[in-house]
Amino acid sequence: MPTPLNQRRNANAIRVLAMDAVQKANSGHPGAPMGMADIAEVVWREFLKHNPANAKWANRDRFVLSNGHGSMLLYALLHLSGYDLSIEDIKNFRQLHAKTAGHPEYGYADGVETTTGPLGQGIANAVGFALAEKTLAGQFNKPNHDIIDHYTYCFLGDGCLMEGVSHEACSLAGTLGLGKLIVYYDDNGISIDGEVEGWFSDDTVKRFESYNWQVLKVDGHDADAIRQATIEARAQITRPTIIICKTIIGLGSPNKQGKEDSHGAPLGVDEIALTRHELGWASDEPFEISDDIYEAWDAKAKGSELERDWNDKFSAYQAQYPVEAAELIRRLSGELPADFDAKADEFIKACQDKAEAVATRKASQNTIAAFAPLLPEILGGSADLAGSNLTLWKDAKSVQAHADGNYIHYGVREFGMTAIANGLALHGGFIPYTATFLMFMEYARNAVRMSSLMKQRVINVYTHDSIGLGEDGPTHQPVEQIASLRQTPNHFTWRPCDAVETAVAWKVALQTAHAPTSLILSRQNLAHQARSDEQLTLIEKGAYVLAKEKRDLQAIIIATGSEVQLAMEAYATLSDEGIGVRVVSMPCAEIFTKQDDDYIQSVLPNNVRSRVAVEAGIVDYWYKFTGLDGKVVGMTTFGESAPAKDLFNHFGITTDKVIEAVKSLI
């Protein structure tokens, strides 16, 4: 039988901190922390390999709270274990600038490995962590030197399992055999709306067995059973494990345990007093934890010893494999090789000299093939479209077939793919990229937002960028997607016009350490644009004058991607007619707007208000550059199914329309 509730003092400390913090904030979710406290106590005190004195220790186990609404569970664990999270931080739960945000936020408090707000993404991130561990081990471990060797533990709830992204990620985890991924399912049968059996009747055992997972079931309040299941899970090295833990939400609350009342609201002062009595808690004062409980939880000494042991192992590894050790240190630091910038510039100059007319998706593939040998940390993958988005290069090795691989076949899993990539980036040692058609970014949109929020270097390759993909029709033709990406904070969107801009976009994306980048690439071949060496250096600024006016400046044409060619054709005609016009190529508007005023004015002088923007996407975004008195040649509706040339004519995205717009303004 499980230990009586009033004797579980270490676990009860979690319950007390959770209910007190939620009550003080008058906001939050006490039920999940109170229900999972017994599981958390076993995992964190007996199995988790971590060091509160160094939350970024490279070979630590990773812990993810996917049911992030129960954030006080994680904050209580960090506080009790000795992390830099004081009792004042706990009291400040959900307040402005607090380390203890309403959901775990990466970068706010040491020990929080990822931001888990939207349900389901935490487990997908955990799959990314486990995949990173397995692949990094394959690339760096040597006989008798298992220098990368750690587990990923993940807690999740009913909501995570209802979200479709959990299916995408867990299905792939089973296929990849991520044996060091251990998941604890808080099977309490309650969500905000009440008992879930009315809307969630899945057979979770069969579901995960079909994924090739090991499935175990325990009483989530029986420490011995949780301990034994964890031992069994750690022994299973070829399959991930889910431990289904039958729990009671809000355990300890006499009137609210087992009910939705304890899910997403404070218990109330009176109920908290009753709960303290039920728990046998010695103090009636909020946030009061006895010294002996702190001593029982304190993980600093043990954690420091674990890290010292690993450092000794790494020193031995370093002595025998100095090159590999130096490379691992570099990659875990997130720094690029010292010579990358120069070698990338050599490749960009070669693209300029070659002057090849090519689809930017093909130019991207050529760039990956050139940069991947320089950056072994690149870990790419595509949602089943590698032959179309051209992200699989000649020397790539699939992680499915090679332990030290560098390419992931994600299958048709856009959302799962992107959330997994976030986990890969967060783990360290890799720069992940994902790929699909731009239209299917919509499936991945929330994970793209999360990489932006967490400031992670994830690169998204999105091809088939406009109505130019033609006959597949409006369901496949992106219209509003580029504008949506451009308006996402801390995210950079590149839409290059030729092979040169594509190579520059890749270079800048790889160098951008604290933000994700989306590369928007064409299906159709695009003409090479001639440039001076000076213009070549200006591409990195996000926008530059591609074609300078031949007489006094009267109008400016701003274009991106395939429409730069239309702008250049219009420029030639207008210049021949004696009109002073320039063409500005703007592959990355977000970077351009971060330049100093002098540069912005040199490209788009304020005194020239006759401006036309042209892009085969939604027009509204571009008025920020043209002004409301300018004109935008682009899309105001969805597309149609027809050959690309017919579509551009039908929607008026043509050279003649650009010329007409310029003349109407001057």
In contact, 105 and 112? CB cutoff 8 Å: yes
Nearest CA-CA partner of 90 in 29, 37, 25: 25
Q: How far is residue 602's CA from residue 581's CA, in Å, rounded to a whole number?
A: 14
In contact, 127 and 181? CB cutoff 8 Å: yes
In contact, 381 and 407? CB cutoff 8 Å: yes
Q: How far is residue 22's CA from residue 34's CA, in Å, rounded to a whole number?
A: 12
Other Cβ atoms within 10 Å of 470 Cβ, number? 22
In contact, 113 and 22? CB cutoff 8 Å: no
Q: How far is residue 34's CA from residue 11's CA, in Å, rounded to a whole number?
A: 9
At residue 590, the 3 state secondary structure works out as helix
- If phi > 0 it is left, if psi is from -120 to 50 it is alpha, else beta; for residue 540 that is alpha
Instruction: Give bridge partners of residue 435 from the DSSP assignment.
Output: 461
CA 534 to chain centre: 35
Positive or negative, the CA dihedral 237, 424, 380, 437 is: positive
Q: How far is residue 454's CA from residue 456's CA, in Å, rounded to a whole number?
A: 6
Q: What are phi and psi of 120, to 5 degrees?
A: 95, -30
* C-alpha distance from residue 16 to each of 65, 159, 364 (Å): 19, 24, 54
Tracing tokens 């922390």 back to the chain, one arrives at 33
* C-alpha distance from residue 95 to each of 14, 29, 91, 345 (Å): 20, 15, 9, 47
User: Catalytic pick from 271, 377, 414, 563?
Assistant: 414
Tracing tokens 């299941």 back to the chain, one arrives at 229
Total residues found in the chain within this entry = 666
Tokens for 79, please give them: 């506080």
CA 343 to chain centre: 28
- If phi > 0 it is left, if psi is from -120 to 50 it is alpha, else beta; for residue 258 that is left
Tell me whether residue 278 is one of the annotated catalytic residues: no
Read off the DSSP letter of residue 145.
B
Tracing tokens 């010893």 back to the chain, one arrives at 305
Q: How far is residue 261's CA from residue 412's CA, in Å, rounded to a whole number?
A: 39
In contact, 126 and 423? CB cutoff 8 Å: yes
Report long-range pairs for 646-654 (Cβ below 8 Å, ≥24 apart). 647/467, 647/468, 647/470, 648/467, 648/468, 648/616, 651/467, 651/616, 653/467, 653/563, 653/566, 653/614, 653/616, 654/566
Class of residue 298 by CB neighbours under 10 A (exposed 0-12, middle 13-18, buried 19+): middle
Q: How far is residue 490's CA from residue 473's CA, in Å, rounded to a whole number?
A: 32
Q: What are phi and psi of 34, to 5 degrees?
A: -70, -35
In contact, 183 and 240? CB cutoff 8 Å: yes
Tracing tokens 């009267």 back to the chain, one arrives at 554
SS (H, E, C) 433-482: EEEEEHHHHHHHHHHHHHHHHCCCCCEEEEECCCHHHHHHCCCCCCCCHH
Read off the DSSP letter of residue 341.
H
- Which residues form the catalytic set? 414
